[in-house]
Chains A and B, each alone.
Chain A
Amino acid sequence: MTAPQWASALFGAVFALWGLAAFIRLRTSRLRAVMALIVGAFLLYAGFRPAIIEWMGPDSDALRLRWIVALLSVATLTATLEAIRVSRMRERNALFWIAVSLGLLAGSLFPPLAAGARRLTGMSFEAIVVAGLTAFVFFLLFRLCIEISDLRAKLAELTRALALAEEKLRRLSAAKTDGQRSARPSDPPA
């Protein structure tokens, strides 16, 4: 076995065992456990079946980068699905993360896709990943800025409505107090 095979098998075994243990004991969420189990099993299988690694291409920096990107994509995908599950992220906001994670995962696992992207852009796989991530971060920041502006406008609207409602309440309370005072008989009934 070569060094990458050993590394793949070792990491795969750790991932798979942790995922299995977590799934059985329910110490963490089942979703996360299942994802870890799948990744672990795949890495373990890849360790003992060099054909998979050969299918991915000869050992090189680009191949290692593809593995790292694939793992990061799976981690991001898992975290996103988990965030939706526990209602910390809305589906509308998660859509972008899921699309990017799946795109990166597909590009890193399937060499024809990576080759196609290389031909299309004329850049190396490393450059495509860096440019893609940069574009992702910029787009995300842009979207966040818009969301923040939108939320600030909504907050301002709520603040204004609250201030006006409070003033109206004060006015009504004062009128009620005045009304009670004037309605109170000056002399007790005989």
Chain B
Amino acid sequence: MVLRGSSAVILIPVRNEEANIADLHQEIRARHPNLEICWIDDGSTDDSLREIRRTGDRYLSLPCNLGVGGAMQTGFRYALEQGFDYALRLDGDGQHPPAECARLIERMAAGDVDVVIGSRFLAGGYEGAWHRSLGIRILSWFLSRICRRKITDPTSGFQMANRAAMTLFAAQYPTDYPEPEALALLSRQGYRFAEVATAFRARRRGRSSLQGRAALYFAFQVFLALFVDRLRDVNPRLARHRLEGRI
């Protein structure tokens, strides 16, 4: 599938990533010169916004920090308003190599899924911190039970969504650490998603926000959210079969 500039947008949520923005911009432009890039500055306190302005790309500046979920929901609304058919999400820390986007695009081209997720564990060989890998494995097992399908990388933010999924996410998207909960939401609302093996790399500069107490809070928040998610009903207004006819 060849994406035209008017059909897809790359959404990049950013918070205090001033050191990574210029490099990521150049890398994306080199690989995908015809795709629009939209940065979403999630209330950065460093010079991220200035760096984004320098790139000349589109950007959304959130005056308050809403978390990745809030930032992405804004991005999906933007993509819908501008009439894009697809939205690719890359993280602003440079962990998702733009070269790997081709795998997601290729899988989306098959036309049988609404969301494609890049998984660092599907092909094996990914080496991460042991406690993080253990946490992700437990979460994978739990989420696989909920979604009744195998999920290898529930925390991956490397995703591509079509218009139907964007409509869902624009209306309803989990906050804070949204990826696992978003998969449960997709499953509950009847959307189809698939994982493809992609390479991830270590963040280039800066520190991850998911360390120490934040990691513990992440685990608690995600498991609680997934548990409560089971108690929720399907939102008929946003069910896939209803949206299919409208989009």
Interface size on A, residues (CB 8 A): 10
CB contact under 8 A between A156 and B59, given known A164-B77, A164-B81, A167-B78: no
A87 CA to B225 CA in the complex, in Å?
38
> How near does chain A come to B228, taking the closest CB pair, in angstroms?
13
Interface string of A146-169 (1 = CB under 8 A from B): 000000000110011011101100
Among A160, A163, A166, A167, max chain B CB count under 10 A is at A163
> How near does chain B come to A131, taking the closest CB pair, in angstroms?
29
B61 CB-CB contact with A under 8 Å: yes
A-chain residues with CB within 8 Å of residue B81 when the two chains form the complex: 164
B238 CB-CB contact with A under 8 Å: no
B-chain residues with CB within 8 Å of residue A162 when the two chains form the complex: 62-63
Contact between A156 and B77, CB atoms less than 8 A apart: no
* In the A-B complex, the 6 residue pairs with the closest CB atoms: A163-B60, A160-B74, A159-B64, A163-B62, A156-B70, A156-B66
5 further interface pairs, Cβ-Cβ under 8 Å (given A160-B74, A167-B78): A156-B64, A159-B74, A162-B63, A163-B62, A164-B81
> How near does chain B come to A101, taking the closest CB pair, in angstroms?
36
B58 CB-CB contact with A under 8 Å: yes
B73 CB-CB contact with A under 8 Å: yes
B175 CB-CB contact with A under 8 Å: yes
Contact between B74 and A164, CB atoms less than 8 A apart: yes
> Which one, A159, A164, A171, contacts B66 given CB within 8 A?
A159
B-chain residues with CB within 8 Å of residue A171 when the two chains form the complex: 58
A residues whose Cβ falls under 8 Å from a Cβ of B: 155-156, 159-160, 162-164, 166-167, 171
A-chain residues with CB within 8 Å of residue B66 when the two chains form the complex: 156, 159-160
A-chain residues with CB within 8 Å of residue B78 when the two chains form the complex: 164, 167
> How near does chain B come to A177, taking the closest CB pair, in angstroms?
14
Contact between A160 and B70, CB atoms less than 8 A apart: yes
A128 CA to B58 CA in the complex, in Å?
62
> How near does chain A come to B45, taking the closest CB pair, in angstroms?
15
Contact between A164 and B64, CB atoms less than 8 A apart: no
A155 CA to B61 CA in the complex, in Å?
15
Contact between B60 and A164, CB atoms less than 8 A apart: yes
Among A160, A164, A166, max chain B CB count under 10 A is at A160
A163 CA to B61 CA in the complex, in Å?
5
CB contact under 8 A between A155 and B64, given known A160-B70, A164-B74, A167-B78: yes
> Which one, A155, A159, A160, A167, contacts B59 given CB within 8 A?
A167
- Specify the chain A residue showing the minimal Cβ separation from B69: A156
- Specify the chain B residue showing the minimal Cβ separation from A162: B63
> How near does chain B come to A118, taking the closest CB pair, in angstroms?
40
Contact between A160 and B58, CB atoms less than 8 A apart: no
B-chain residues with CB within 8 Å of residue A167 when the two chains form the complex: 58-60, 78
Tell me the chain B residues, 56-100 only, with Cβ under 8 Å from chain A.
58-64, 66, 70, 73-74, 77-78, 81
Contact between B77 and A160, CB atoms less than 8 A apart: yes
Among A155, A156, A166, max chain B CB count under 10 A is at A156
B-chain residues with CB within 8 Å of residue A160 when the two chains form the complex: 62, 66, 70, 73-74, 77
A-chain residues with CB within 8 Å of residue B77 when the two chains form the complex: 160, 164
A163 CA to B58 CA in the complex, in Å?
12
A160 CA to B173 CA in the complex, in Å?
13
A166 CA to B61 CA in the complex, in Å?
8
> Which one, B40, B60, B61, B175, contacts A156 given CB within 8 A?
B175
A171 CA to B40 CA in the complex, in Å?
16
21 CB < 8 A contacts A-B: A155-B64, A156-B64, A156-B175, A159-B62, A159-B66, A159-B70, A160-B66, A160-B74, A160-B77, A162-B63, A163-B40, A163-B61, A163-B74, A164-B60, A164-B74, A164-B77, A164-B78, A164-B81, A166-B60, A166-B61, A167-B60
